[in-house]
C-alpha cells in the first residue's frame, strides 16, 4: 500500500507537467519546495504546515545520499556547472592533496556514483509513523499511516581517501531503538546550527515545473565535513537495511520565491 501511495503521488505530479507545462513554467498549487539556498530566508509560498517533531521523537525510515549537494549553503557554494541538474561542491574541494584524491577502487567500489573529491549530501529521513527502516520513501509510510509528518536531517560531506576522516558507518542504522524510536547511531555534529524550514522531497525527477506534493521539515547543516570514501564502500559491502549501494542524482536548486517558504 505504501508503495502504491508513492506511485500515485508521483503520477499526480507528472500529470501537471503532461498538461502542457513548459520547462520554464512554475508549478502552482503546491506547498514549499526543496532544495534551496539556505543562506537566503525569503519565501512567498503561502502553504503552511506544522513543522515535524525533533528527529529523536520520530522513526528513522530511510537513509540515502546524493552526489553533489542539492542545497546551496555557506560551506558548499561552488557550482558544479555543466550537467542538467547541477548541484554544489564543498568550498574546500580544490584544496585536496593527491593522496586524498587517490581512488584505490578506480571508480568501481561497492558504493557506486561516488569518488574521492566528490561532494555528497546525505539525508536521514524520519517519519511519525510506527515504521521500521527500509528501502526508499515507501518505508516511511504504513497501511495505518499514509500521511505522516516527515523530517530530513541533512549533512553535506566532502569525500576523501583518508581513514582519519569521518566514518559513514558511525552515522548509519545499527538496530538502535531509543525510547521506542528507530534512530541512527548518531547524527553529525560540529558543522553549524542546522537551518530548519518547510519544504518537499527532492531528487532529479522534480523541478520548478514538476513539484513534489509531499510536505517535509528540513534541517540542513550549513558547513561541510570530510568523509572517508572507504567507509561508504564498507557500508554497502556489509549490506544495509535501506538497500543502498549507490549515490543518487540531485534536483536543481529551487529559486522561485513562490515555491519557497520563508525561513523564520
Task: Give the closest residue to 224 by CA, choosing from 155, 124, 168, 163.
Answer: 155
93 within domain boundaries: yes
Question: CA-based angle 39:222:237, to the nearest 5?
Answer: 135
Distance CA 229, CA 116 (A): 6
pLDDT computed for residue 24 by the predictor: 58
Q: Are 209 and 17 in contact (CB under 8 A)?
A: yes
Q: What is the DSSP code (8-state) at residue 260?
A: -
Task: Give the closest residue to 121 by CA, choosing from 244, 242, 225.
Answer: 225
The mean pLDDT values, 10 residues at a time, for the chain of 264 residues are 39 36 74 98 95 98 98 97 83 98 96 98 98 97 95 98 98 97 98 98 96 97 98 97 97 97 94
User: What are 44's three cell numbers?
Assistant: 512567498
207 within domain boundaries: yes
**Burial class of 18 by CB neighbour count within 10 A (0 to 12, 13 to 18, 19+):** exposed
Q: How many domains does the chain contain in total?
A: 1
248 within domain boundaries: yes
143 within domain boundaries: yes
| Backbone phi and psi for residue 218, each to the nearest 5 degrees, phi listed first | -105, 145
Q: What is the DSSP code (8-state) at residue 79?
A: E
Q: Is the pTM higher than 0.85?
A: yes
User: What are 120's three cell numbers?
Assistant: 555528497
264 within domain boundaries: no
Q: Are 132 and 139 in contact (CB under 8 A)?
A: yes
Region class of 209: left (phi > 0), else alpha (psi between -120 and 50), else beta: alpha
Strands 216-220 and 150-160: parallel
User: What are 40's three cell numbers?
Assistant: 537566503
Domain that holds residue 230: 2-259
254 within domain boundaries: yes
DSSP β-bridge partners for residue 152: 125, 218
Q: What is the DSSP code (8-state) at residue 129?
A: S
**Burial class of 37 by CB neighbour count within 10 A (0 to 12, 13 to 18, 19+):** middle
Secondary element (H or E) of residue 231: helix 229-238
Residue 204's alpha-carbon distances to 53, 72, 261, in angstroms, are 27, 16, 20
User: What are 132's three cell numbers?
Assistant: 521500521
Q: Are 59 and 66 in contact (CB under 8 A)?
A: no
Amino acid at each position: 500500500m505504501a508503495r502504491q501511495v508513492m506511485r500515485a503521488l508521483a503520477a499526480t505530479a507528472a500529470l501537471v507537467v503532461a498538461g502542457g507545462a513548459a520547462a520554464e513554467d512554475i508549478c502552482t498549487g503546491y506547498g514549499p519546495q526543496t532544495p534551496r539556498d539556505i543562506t537566503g530566508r525569503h519565501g512567498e509560498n503561502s502553504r503552511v504546515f506544522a513543522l515535524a517533531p525533533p528527529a529523536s521523537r520520530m522513526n528513522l525510515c530511510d537513509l540515502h545520499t546524493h552526489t553533489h549537494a542539492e542545497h546551496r549553503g555557506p560551506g558548499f557554494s561552488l557550482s558544479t556547472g555543466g550537467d542538467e541538474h547541477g548541484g554544489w561542491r564543498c568550498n574546500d574541494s580544490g584544496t585536496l592533496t593527491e593522496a586524498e584524491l587517490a581512488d584505490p577502487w578506480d571508480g568501481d567500489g561497492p558504493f557506486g556514483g561516488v569518488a574521492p573529491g566528490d561532494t555528497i549530501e546525505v539525508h536521514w529521513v524520519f517519519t511519525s509513523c510506527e515504521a521500521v527502516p527500509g528501502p526508499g520513501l515507501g518505508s516511511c509510510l504504513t497501511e495505518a499511516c499514509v500521511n505522516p509528518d516527515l523530517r530530513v536531517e541533512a549533512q553535506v560531506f566532502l569525500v576523501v581517501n583518508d581513514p582519519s576522516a569521518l566514518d559513514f558507518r558511525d552515522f548509519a542504522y545499527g538496530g538502535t531503538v531509543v525510547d521506542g524510536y528507530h534512530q541512527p547511531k548518531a547524527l553529525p555534529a560540529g558543522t553549524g546550527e542546522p537551518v530548519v524550514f518547510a519544504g518537499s522531497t527532492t531528487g532529479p525527477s522534480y523541478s520548478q515545473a514538476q513539484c513534489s506534493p509531499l510536505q517535509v521539515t528540513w534541517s540542513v547543516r550549513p558547513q561541510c565535513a570530510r568523509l572517508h570514501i572507504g567507509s561508504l564502500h564498507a557500508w554497502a559491502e556489509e549490506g544495509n537495511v535501506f538497500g543502498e549501494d549507490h549515490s543518487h542524482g540531485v534536483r536543481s536548486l529551487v529559486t522561485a520565491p513562490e515555491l519557497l517558504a520563508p525561513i523564520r
